Every structure is written in C-alpha cells, then in structure tokens.
Amino acid sequence: MKPTIKDIAQRANVSTATVSRILSNKKQSYRPKTATKVKAIAKELGYKKNLAAAELAAHSSKLIAVILNNTQTNFADDIIAAIQAATDQAGYQMFILYAGNHDSRLLNQAISVALERHVAGILLVATTLDKEAAHTLQESNTPCRLISVYDEADPRYTGFKFTSSNNEEIGYLATNYLIERGHSRIGLAGIDRSSTGKQRLHGYQRAMTEHGLIPRMDWVEYGDYSFGPQQNMLKTLMNKELDAIITASDMVAVGMIKEAHLLDLDIPKDLSFISIDGTFLCDITIPTITSVTQDFYQMGTIAVRGLLNDEDSQFIPVHITPRNSVRILTTKSLEH
C-alpha cells in the first residue's frame, strides 16, 4: 500500500499539516530538526507526493504553460524547441496549450487551464490577446511573457513584457535591401491586420519614404502568414507591375514561388522576392529565398530567462541572409 502523509505524521509524531508544509517546502513555522526527521521518514517509507496536491498546497508549481496560436506556419518550431530545452535546464516542465487560430474562446480556455494548474509562468507565442484574456492574466498575478508579438500602442498588450524581433525593423530592412538593389515598385504580401502586420507595414512605409518612394496601399495584400492562399495574391500583385515582393513569412514565400512557377515567371529575372523568417524553407525552393532572418531559437531561450527572472522586454536582433531570389537592378545605392 502506498504510504500517505498520515503514515509519516504518525511515525514522526507530528501533525499531518506539519508534514504537508515540510514536504511542500513551505517556509512556515516548523523546526529544522522536525523537517529533517519528516523528510527522512518520507524517504524511508518511499513516499511519493501527489504533485497536484502539493501544487495546491504551495500555490505554485514547476510547470510552465506555453500558449500557442496554431496558424499553419512553421516559425514557432524553433521557439518551442528552445523553450523545451531552457525550461528543462531550469528544472521546469513545459506544456503546450493551443489557442486556435485567433480564436477567443480557445485562448481564454487555454488560459483557464493553465491558471487552474497553478503554473509558475505562462509564455504566449504569437497570440492575439483580447480584453478578457489580458484582464484574466493580469488579475492572476502569474508571471506572463509574450513571444514574437507585442504592441506598445495597444492597451491589451502594454501590461505585458515581451521577447520578440522588432517587426518595424524587419519591414524596414527588407524594403531597404530591395531599394538598395534598384527596386522601387515593391509589394508586401501576406501580412495580417493585427499588431505584427501593422508594425511590418510601418517599416516598409518608412524605408520607402526615406528613399523618396511613395508607399502604396494597393501594393499590400493581406493574409495570415500561412501557405495556401497565394494563387490570387500573386496574380493581383503581378497586375501592379511590381519589381519585387516582400513576403510576410516563409510559408507565404514558398506559396508565392510555387504560383510564380505555374505562371512561368523566371525568379528573380521577372520578379524578386525577399521573405521574412529565414527558416529551412528558404533553402529548398528554386531559387533559394533571400530573407530577413529571425533567430527563433534564441528568442525562445531568452524568453524563458526573461520570464523566470522578470527581465525587461527584449528585441532579438535580426539579419539579412542573402540567397538567390533578389535580382540586382542597380548597385548605385550600394556604391554611395
């Protein structure tokens, strides 16, 4: 028969409440000598504590909940791998809850499940917060951190610290890279209308304006970063006689390039592409895809550290990875 707290209490001649406090490592009134004795007896009897009960007693646990928006993209793979490694190293166990595809019900359900398990912290990856979710999280006093999403202009997000790439910088760098190579009719494909999309659009607009080019909203095609809906998107953008397209994710890029081949376009001769993300997908298409590369693994690692130590918000540096999808029309700007 499995030994219980009662067995330990009888043997140690203390109350079950004392045993419970000691085995939960609660800092409360008991003598160190008693603690040593109780722990020795627990070990001797082979007592294995019921963790759910222990968590309830301690009102905390060694669990980290990762709440993930499950749009069909692949950028989160390395973030998750890094969170797994970093939480494991810090002595925590992570588990993942899906928040659907910007589904308010599933998001709030996931938050409830996490809070009910008295998790030590919550990481929200690329999640669109609604008012209810933001409120519940802040009321809970549970440490939270956003990953790959932030919005300093939106009250739903301002209460949370984040670890992310700088989306405005991403949009700026991608656009600037194309302009420096002689492109001026530059489209932006697949961004969404939420914070991330807006920030990347701002970066695009800033780079265009700085170079005396007029950013045009009819060169922007909205999407959700996923593979699939690129067929009409490419045709629509081709009708605008663009030189180059910035894709909002690698999934959008591979979708666009697939469609470009079906339309017999020669890339980058007829049309240049630069993608945002820089995952392995950029290496498997023909041509390979130049990208603004995000360091997702680093992002996951730093986010766990940030959560556990309550560090300030962090931007993880991004960089351009030149591959073969951008045609050099002129190197004039580069020769300045």
Please name every residue paired with 125 in a beta bridge, in sequence order, or none if there are none. 68, 147
Q: Which of 10, 31, 43, 51 binds a copy of itself (CB under 8 A)?
A: 51
Inter-residue contact 190 to 248 (CB < 8 Å): yes
The encoded tokens of residue 178 equal 């194309």
Q: Which of residues 213-252 bind a copy of itself (CB under 8 A)?
A: 227-228
* Vertex 244 angle, CA 238 and 177, to 5°: 170
Question: Smallest gap, in angstroms, from Cβ of residue 138 to a copy of itself?
Answer: 17
Residue 299 as a binder of a copy of itself (CB under 8 A): the answer is no
DSSP 335: G
Question: Smallest gap, in angstroms, from Cβ of residue 87 to a copy of itself?
Answer: 10
* Binding region for a copy of itself (CB under 8 A) out of 149-157, 177-185, 266-274, 284-292: 284-292
* Binding region for a copy of itself (CB under 8 A) out of 22-30, 105-113, 192-200, 312-320: 105-113
Inter-residue contact 125 to 70 (CB < 8 Å): no
Question: Smallest gap, in angstroms, from Cβ of residue 258 to a copy of itself?
Answer: 5
The encoded tokens of residue 25 equal 């490592």
Residue 3 as a binder of a copy of itself (CB under 8 A): the answer is no
Residues with Cβ within 8 Å of residue 334, at least 6 apart in sequence: 180, 181
Of 65 and 246, CB closest to a copy of itself: 65
The sign of the dihedral angle between the CA atoms of 159, 127, 150, 303 is: positive
Cα–Cα distance measured from residue 77 to residue 297, given in angstroms and rounded to the nearest whole number: 9
Contacting positions for a copy of itself (CB under 8 A): 50-53, 55-56, 63, 70, 72, 74, 77, 80-81, 84, 88, 93-98, 100, 106, 109-110, 113, 116-118, 227-228, 254-255, 257-258, 261, 280-281, 283-286
